[in-house]
Each structure stands twice: as structure tokens, then as C-alpha cells.
């Protein structure tokens, strides 16, 4: 895990009571009131940055100022990308670690340009609250922009030899991040419905009764006759069926097999062959990866949309690598498998980083893929195993192994029916299952862990050491994590949660537990931080698939089973 940034967002909670007195309480209250720049900027985390970037000596409503802020954000993002390119042009004079950190920044800045362009198109189209799904789309990508900024900064700060680069980029990076925070605040105020998300009913969506259970069943797809012949000859499991009972649609299939009997011998070649920028109307491009150990670093780019990847099962189809921070990679680019393409689905696969505990941060999977699903997969590493970086993600029936901060990031993510396996760390280390990275009170991000099981991995269970295991610690100021309806083994420390550094974030974080079971679930001796809560069903419903991910709007098309609300 990278260190905490040297700048943090101003605690908006301190100014909210004052804002409420001005009428800024929700999207449907006083949205069309004409106010001055100074007044509107009091609603944001950074009033001075807001005033310096919005039209001065003017009056307007929330929509006028929101559009101006997003427009200015887009302009600044273009300037920052150009600045990074100028540093990269001098790559010959940079250390390898500094160049890698800059390459991360360039990659993330490019994503931000796309996100801001989409955001501006959305806010420019209407001067009223958006429909729920559209509002969640835009709030999600504005939240991801802030996450991308922080990731760039974290990478630069961890590169000790890149002082001149950090010195030149830190100020514009910090100022731009504050401006993006202003844009997110104004969007949330003006375009997000006051009740954006439902309360998460208890409806559970499952495949139709004629579909056999996943372990013994057969996947039902629509696809070309050539692809169907290949598929029927190689699979005896699956997946999936849409909520309406129709088969999940697949446009074509590619088979990866190391013995040369498939279309490709490497996963990367199959990904390269997938179509670009599809809209999903023709179905998923399916990559079937036969059993084997694939020593590849796989990166699925943003243009490889609607890609579905299926293996032969956990520990049968394995993708493995060993990059780590100790060996000169940033945490971000240490991942064995990375995906940013929207609407990605992975099933029946194992993802590993074998760098080991002594190599510190070493990621098995990094996902910044919006509306993505991992189903019946295993993630294996030590520190920083699974990087749920950004946007909206869902994990069902997965196994996750690790030690320090082994589920971390700043996505809006729900883990459901998963097994979390803390492992044996290095001597003197404790296990922290989560390290959530929310930096802004308006980000719709957090980690929700529902109906999961927490037990010691075999190496930890059989050790004679007294390793302390905690539910999580606050990586960033507004860290948000909820455990609900899960089984917690006796390995969980009675305090439940661990500090990051002194009293950092203890009053601004949101950590909660609801209706958990097992010897580690007793909350009697939990931490007494202001941000820690034992919550009721009403509050817990806010972190269900239907509410937190607005998942009923997009999960059915993936065919993956899920529980919409509380169990």
C-alpha cells in the first residue's frame, strides 16, 4: 500500500450545517436559486479554489456553476496531461521507477479526460436532477477522477529518486484534485436525485429453475454455429442465464490453450483479437482459457468492452506473475492482471502474485473496470492482493488470500458469498483485510462485504505465532467499509479495526458492522472511534447490491447470481 498523501480533502462535514442553513440540503431544494460565486462555493470542500476557477462577479444557479466547474476541470486535465508528457519526453534522464510512476500518471490522466468529457456532456444536457442510473454513472466517474489523481500522487511520492518530478507535478496535481472535488460537490448538489438509491429489498435474483447449479450445470449462450461447436466441445460447467430466462448473449468465442489446440496460446493474444469499443448489443466476446499456468502480465485496455473470460476452474486456469514495489514497480503497475474495460466478466480462474511477503506491495489483480464482475475466482498474494481501484465492481463466490491491506482501493464494490483468507505475514506484521481509499465525502465509493466467511488460511492456522488480524484500517480520510451478515472466525482481534497513523481519519471514516456471526463478530470490545458504528437493517440496506451498486440495472445481463438486498 502506498503512503497517505501529504494533502487531504477539507472535512466537508464541518461545513455541512452551515450549508444546510443556506438551503443546500439536496438536489431538489433551491437548485434554481440564483446566488453569487462566493455563496455557491461555500458548498464545496475548497471555497477558495472554487472562487478562483468559477466566473466571478456573477450570479447563477447550481447548474450554471456546475457546468462551469466541469468545463474548467476538463481544461485543467488537458494541461496536466501535456505536463506529464513533457516530463516523459525526458525519460532518458529518469530512473526506471520515476518513469514508471509517470507512465501511471499519464495513463490515469488520459482516463480522466474521457471521464470529464462524458461528465460535461451529461451536465450540459439538462438543468435538473438526472434519472437515478444516469446520476450514478456520472457520480461514479467523477469519483474515479479523484481516485486517479490520488493514485498518480501516491506513485510519485513512493518514488524517492524522482524529487524533481514530484516537485514539478505536486502543486498542479493538488490544485487540480481540489477543482475536481469542487465539480463532484456541485454535481452531487445539482444533478443527483435526493433519493438516488433504493433501500435494497430482500429479493434475490438467481438463474431460472431449469438451470442446473453452477458446479454441475452447463452454460447457455447464443453465439455463432462455429463458436457453439467449440464451446460445447470444451465446457461442462457454467454459468449463467439472464434474469428473463434468455441465454446470455455472446458474439464470438476465442479459445486459449497452451498445447496449440485453441485459437491462441496466450491470453494476451486472445485479448488483442477481441473487438474494440463494442456497445454490448451483440453480446460478450468470450475468451475460454483452458487449464494451465499462464505466466503472463495481462492488461485489458479501456476499448476492450464487454469481454467475458472463463477458465476451467480455480487452481486449474491460473494467471501468475511476481512484480512488486521492492523490485521497482509502482503498486498500480505491479498487478499480474489489470483491467479497465467496462462490463468485464471473469469466471472460474485463479490470479496470483508470487512475489511473497518480503516484497511488500505486490498485486494479483487491479480492477478499474466499471460494471465488472468476478465470479468463482481466486486471488492469491500477500500484501495488496486485490486492488479494487475504482468505479463499480461485484465479486461473487470468490476466494481472496492475503496479509496486509489485501483488499484495497476506492471502488464502489460489493463482495458477496466470498471466502476471505488471511495468511501468515512476515514476522512482526499484522493482517489487515481491507484498506479502503475514499478521499472525498461526495464519492459514492466504499467496500461492502456481505454473507462472506473469514477464516485463517492454512499457513496461518497451522502456525504457532500470535498474528493479529483486523477487519481493516483507514488508508484515506473518508475510508468506508461495511461488514454485514458475514461469518468471522476467532482470528479477528476483539478491537476489530486498526489505526493507520495515530488519529488519522478516525472521526471522518465510516466503518460499520451488521448482523455478523462467528467468534470474531462480537462487537463488545470494538474500537470506540467516532466513525465506527454497529448499524441496523435500515442502514445496512444502503450497502446492498441494489442500493450501493444500483446493481439491478446492470447485473442481470451478466448472468451472474446475486442477492439484491439483505439476506
Catalytic residues, by residue number, are 405
Calpha distance 245→559 (Å, rounded): 10
Strands (E) across 306-462 are located at: 307-311, 317-321, 337-339, 345-347, 350-353, 365-367, 372-375, 378-380, 386-388, 392-396, 399-402, 404-409, 412-416, 419-422, 431-436, 446-450, 453-454
**Residue 389: Cβ within 10 Å count:** 28
Provide φ and ψ at 361, rounded to 5°.
-65, 120
How far is 101 from 173, CA to CA, in rounded Å?
A: 14
The answer to whether the beta carbons of residues 185 and 479 sit under 8 Å apart is: no
In the 3-class helix/strand/coil scheme, how is 74-105 assigned residue by residue? HHHHHHHHHHHHHHHCCHHHCCHHHHHHHHHH
d(CA 138, CA 410): 16
Q: Which residue has the cell 472521526?
A: 507
3-state helix, strand, coil in the chain (%, to 5): 30, 20, 45
Count CB atoms within 10 A of the CB of residue 504.
18
Residue 423 CA to residue 522 CA, distance in Å, equals 22
Of 223, 296, 294, which is closest to residue 254 (Cα–Cα)? Answer: 223
For residues 485 and 543, what is the distance between their CA atoms, to the nearest angstrom?
A: 12
- Contact in structure between 426 and 404 (CB atoms under 8 Å): no
- Beta-ladder partners of 91: none
Compute φ and ψ for 27, nearest 5 degrees: -65, -20
Distance CA 42, CA 10 (A): 12
* 353 Cβ contact partners less than 8 Å away, ≥ 6 residues apart: 320, 321, 322, 323, 324, 334, 335, 336, 362, 363, 364, 380, 381, 382, 385
Q: Which helix (H) or strand (E) holds 272?
A: helix 267-273
Contact of 333 with 301, CB cutoff 8 Å: no
Going by C-alpha positions, the residue among 481, 466, 386 that lies closest to residue 430 is 466
Neighbours of 519 (CB within 10 A): 12
The CA distances from residue 183 to 45, 144, 200, in Å, are 10, 12, 28
Rounded CA gap, 142 and 149, in Å? 11
- Nearest-5° Cα angle at 301, 296 to 303: 145
Amino acid at each position: 500500500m502506498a503512503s497517505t498523501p501529504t494533502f487531504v480533502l477539507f472535512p466537508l462535514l464541518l461545513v455541512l450545517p452551515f450549508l444546510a442553513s443556506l438551503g443546500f440540503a439536496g438536489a431538489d431544494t433551491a437548485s434554481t436559486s440564483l446566488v453569487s460565486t462566493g455563496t455557491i462555493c461555500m458548498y464545496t470542500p475548497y471555497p477558495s479554489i472554487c472562487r478562483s476557477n468559477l466566473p466571478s462577479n456573477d450570479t447563477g444557479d447550481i447548474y450554471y456553476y456546475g457546468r462551469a466547474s466541469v468545463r474548467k476541470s476538463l481544461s485543467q486535465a488537458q494541461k496536466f496531461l501535456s505536463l506529464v508528457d513533457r516530463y516523459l519526453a525526458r525519460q532518458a534522464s529518469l530512473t526506471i521507477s520515476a518513469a514508471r510512476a509517470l507512465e501511471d500518471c499519464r495513463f490515469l490522466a488520459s482516463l480522466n479526460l474521457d471521464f470529464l468529457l462524458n461528465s460535461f456532456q451529461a451536465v450540459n444536457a439538462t438543468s435538473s436532477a438526472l434519472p437515478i442510473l444516469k446520476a450514478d454513472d456520472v457520480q461514479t466517474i467523477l469519483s474515479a477522477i479523484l481516485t486517479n489523481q490520488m493514485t498518480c500522487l501516491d506513485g510519485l511520492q513512493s518514488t524517492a529518486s524522482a524529487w524533481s518530478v514530484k516537485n514539478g507535478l505536486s502543486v498542479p496535481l493538488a490544485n487540480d484534485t481540489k477543482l475536481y472535488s469542487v465539480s463532484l460537490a456541485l454535481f452531487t448538489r445539482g444533478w443527483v436525485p435526493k433519493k438516488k438509491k433504493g433501500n435494497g429489498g430482500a429479493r434475490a435474483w438467481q438463474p431460472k429453475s431449469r438451470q442446473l447449479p453452477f458446479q454441475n450445470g452447463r452454460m447457455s449462450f447464443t453465439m455463432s454455429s462455429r463458436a457453439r461447436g467449440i464451446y460445447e466441445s470444451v465446457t461442462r460447467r457454467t454459468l449463467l442465464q439472464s434474469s428473463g430466462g434468455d441465454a446470455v448473449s455472446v458474439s464470438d468465442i476465442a479459445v486459449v490453450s497452451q498445447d496449440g489446440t485453441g485459437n491462441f496460446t496466450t491470453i494476451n493474444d486472445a485479448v488483442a483479437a477481441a473487438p474494440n469499443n463494442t456497445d454490448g448489443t451483440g453480446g460478450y466476446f468470450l475468451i475460454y482459457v483452458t487449464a494451465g499456468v499462464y505466466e503472463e502480465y495481462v492488461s485489458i485496455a479501456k476499448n476492450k468492452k464487454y469481454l467475458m473470460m472463463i477458465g476451467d476452474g480455480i487452481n486449474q486456469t491460473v494467471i501468475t506473475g511476481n512484480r512488486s514495489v521492492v523490485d521497482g514497480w509502482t503498486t498500480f503497475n505491479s498487478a499480474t492482471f489489470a483491467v479497465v474495460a467496462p462490463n468485464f466478466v471473469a469466471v472460474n480462474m485463479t490470479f496470483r502474485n508470487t512475489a511473497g511477503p518480503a516484497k511488500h506491495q505486490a498485486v494479483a489483480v487491479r480492477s478499474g473496470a466499471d460494471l465488472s464482475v468476478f465470479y468463482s475466482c481466486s486471488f492469491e498474494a500477500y500484501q495488496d492482493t486485490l486492488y479494487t481501484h475504482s468505479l463499480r465492481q461485484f465479486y461473487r463466490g470468490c476466494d481472496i488470500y492475503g496479509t496486509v491491506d489485501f483488499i484495497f482501493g476506492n471502488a464502489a464494490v460489493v463482495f458477496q458469498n466470498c471466502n476471505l483468507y488471511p495468511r501468515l505475514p512476515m514476522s512482526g506484521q499484522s493482517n489487515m483485510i481491507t484498506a479502503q481509499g475514499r478521499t472525498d465525502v461526495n464519492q459514492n465509493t466504499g467496500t461492502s462485504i456481505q454473507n462472506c466467511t473469514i477464516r485463517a488460511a492454512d499457513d496461518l492456522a497451522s502456525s504457532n505465532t500470535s498474528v493479529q488480524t483486523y477487519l481493516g484500517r483507514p488508508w484515506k480520510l473518508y475510508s468506508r467499509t461495511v461488514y454485514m451478515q458475514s461469518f468471522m472466525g476467532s482470528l479477528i482481534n476483539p478491537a476489530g479495526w486498526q489505526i493507520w497513523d495515530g488519529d488519522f481519519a478516525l472521526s471522518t471514516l465510516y466503518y460499520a458492522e451488521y448482523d455478523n456471526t462467528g467468534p470474531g463478530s462480537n462487537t463488545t470490545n470494538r474500537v470506540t472511534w467516532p466513525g465506527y458504528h454497529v448499524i441496523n437493517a435500515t442502514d445496512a440496506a444502503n450497502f446492498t447490491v441494489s442500493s450501493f451498486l444500483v446493481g439491478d440495472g446492470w447485473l442481470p445481463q451478466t448472468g451472474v447470481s446475486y442477492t439484491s438486498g439483505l439476506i
